A and B are shown apart, each in its own frame.
Chain A
Amino acid sequence: MRSYTNIFAALLTILLFANCNTPKRVWQKETHNYKIDNSITADTSIVNYYIPFKQKLESEMNRVIGYSDNHLTRTRIDAESLAGNFFVDAMLEIGKSIDPNTQIAFANKFGIRADLQKGNITVGNIFELMPFENYFTILEISGNDLLTLIQYIAKTNGQPIAGITLEIKDGQAMNIKINKESIDSTKTYKIITYDYLANGGDYVVGLSNPLHRNDTGILVRFGLIDYIEKLTKAGKTINTELDGRVKNIK
């Protein structure tokens, strides 16, 4: 390569003397975006490395904990989703088991990272649904702060919620009901969420001035696994449906 570079340098010098222009490199660019699909053979040296990790992981992940009657899809766009409803309905039950006065559950649709398949639900499914190291937090907030939160929910075209129903028109919340009752700004409300959102994650507003905060120390994922195992033990399946708790009004 050295001689090549030298020819190049010599050429450059000649040209520099021949012209007064500053030499400028001209890059022609070619681009390809390769799809990695099954036409590419797996590199066995790489597979061999991760096999022991995979085996350990699978033995922990493949344990069946419950059953879902439907395929529960998630959404990053729509106002309501099956996976979202399952998630917050479970949270509300968990919240009530910690503090019986818990009325509302609030999560974030961007935080639900996988669908739940119809059929057997494994530990691994819950890991993929909720991979984050987040902990349940129960907050007591004022009615005014709850309204602020509900406007955030409307502005982001709906978030997973339980205990609240609302309609969204032009990014504004309307017809808000808290457990079928009108919201009372003089009251306080107990809401279960997780530390990430309680700390203002994903630009959530309305949760930063709680009258009381209970950091439960329960990992969301383990809370969900425990909830599903209890359902199964009681002979129940997951039968979440869309119920129009958050509706878009044209």
Chain B
Amino acid sequence: MEELKTLNRRSFLRNLSILGTALAYSQLPQLAQAQSIKDIKITILHTNDVHSRVEPFPMDGSRLQGLGGVARRSTLINQIRKEEKNVLLFDAGDIFQGTPYFNLFDGEVELTLMSKLKYDAGTFGNHEFDNGIEGLLKHFDKASFPFLTSNYDFSQTALAGKTKHYQIFKKDGVKIGVFGLGVNLDGLVDKKQYAGMQYEDPIAVAKRIVPTLKDKYKCDIVICLSHLGYSYEEDKVSDLRLAAATQGIDLIIGGHTHTFLEKPTEVKNAAGKITLVNQAASGGAVLGRIDFIYNPATKVKTITYNNYVLNSDLV
């Protein structure tokens, strides 16, 4: 397995150096206790734009040839679940369309497989509407996980009450709030295929939901599953714009533009902190992974010295 690993080395080193300074200055007796406390790690795994790619890409000379495959993804995810205690698995949309598995079986295979892989949540991409809302509902019961669709109002459609605006996951006492943002379907999907659905501005919706997750529900980590697309040359909302225009989102898991990022992009958000934007190519060729590591010892230093140099790049 080739692993495209990137570690935020700069901030890690900075953490270390600040920790050193803090230890030298501090005389607090509870420090020894703090150092003995182990890291809490929340592992986020994610896919996007899998496009019915049940089996690996064929060896046809294309860019992603030989990559992907749900059975391999299952092996990798199971292995990570054995190694890590707190794993969450998400998908950022466009589950459907791209191989005849969708055209012949109408989404049954994709949704059943995602349930077998124990996805924790997904969001809708534009291709989820390729057979209309009725088509999407045909095998909807095969999905054992929720779809988070915060800016799609389905209340006047047959999908009413079948999706959620957000979901809060609790792992090791850490609350992870997750919501989902979809792309404007106007011009992408035939209107009759999503008739009755109301589209809301994703940035406005994020500005409404993130404070709810942070202040009301006290979420420690906020994640957005987005099918808006990574970035555009034209004046159009994207993950990079969403990140810059909002505050409080730790991670945007993106899709739609099939963007392959070797490492997540760090975007300075509206509060001057960093929001990460990641995307994992398409077709299940890549599995994205982001670990949020919380060290109580590090926290001690932060509070004691109020030294935010260390977390200037962390939300």
Q: A56 CA to B101 CA in the complex, in Å? A: 10
Asked whether B98 lies within 8 Å of A113 as measured between CB atoms, the reply is yes
When C-beta atoms are compared, the residue in chain A nearest to B295 turns out to be A28
When C-beta atoms are compared, the residue in chain B nearest to A47 turns out to be B71
Q: 1/0 per position for A30-70, CB-CB distance to B under 8 A?
A: 11111111111111111101100110110011000000000
Asked whether A33 lies within 8 Å of B261 as measured between CB atoms, the reply is yes
For window 252-270 of B, CB contacts with A under 8 Å fall at 260-264
For window 271-315 of B, CB contacts with A under 8 Å fall at 276, 278, 280, 284-296, 298-300, 302-304, 306, 310-311, 314-315
Cβ contacts under 8 Å, A221 to chain B: 103
Asked whether B314 lies within 8 Å of A43 as measured between CB atoms, the reply is no
Q: A1 CA to B85 CA in the complex, in Å? A: 11
Cβ contacts under 8 Å, B1 to chain A: 34-35, 37, 39-40
Partner of A11, one of B33, B74, B102: B33
Q: 1/0 per position for B1-29, CB-CB distance to A under 8 A?
A: 11111111001100100000000000010
> Chain B: interface residue count, which band?
35 or more
- A183: shortest Cβ distance to chain B, in Å? 26
The yes or no answer to B67 lying at the interface (CB within 8 A) is yes
Asked whether A30 lies within 8 Å of B172 as measured between CB atoms, the reply is no
Cβ contacts under 8 Å, A39 to chain B: 1-2
- A226: shortest Cβ distance to chain B, in Å? 16
Asked whether B290 lies within 8 Å of A31 as measured between CB atoms, the reply is yes
- A187: shortest Cβ distance to chain B, in Å? 28
Cβ contacts under 8 Å, B250 to chain A: 27
Partner of B8, one of A7, A29, A35: A29
Asked whether B299 lies within 8 Å of A26 as measured between CB atoms, the reply is yes
Return 7 A-B CB contacts under 8 Å, by A number: A1-B173, A27-B314, A29-B8, A31-B263, A36-B68, A50-B113, A200-B187
Contacts A46-B113, A131-B102 given; 19 further ones with Cβ under 8 A? A1-B173, A15-B303, A26-B299, A27-B250, A28-B8, A28-B314, A30-B293, A32-B4, A33-B6, A34-B4, A34-B289, A35-B1, A39-B1, A49-B113, A50-B113, A53-B104, A57-B105, A113-B98, A195-B190
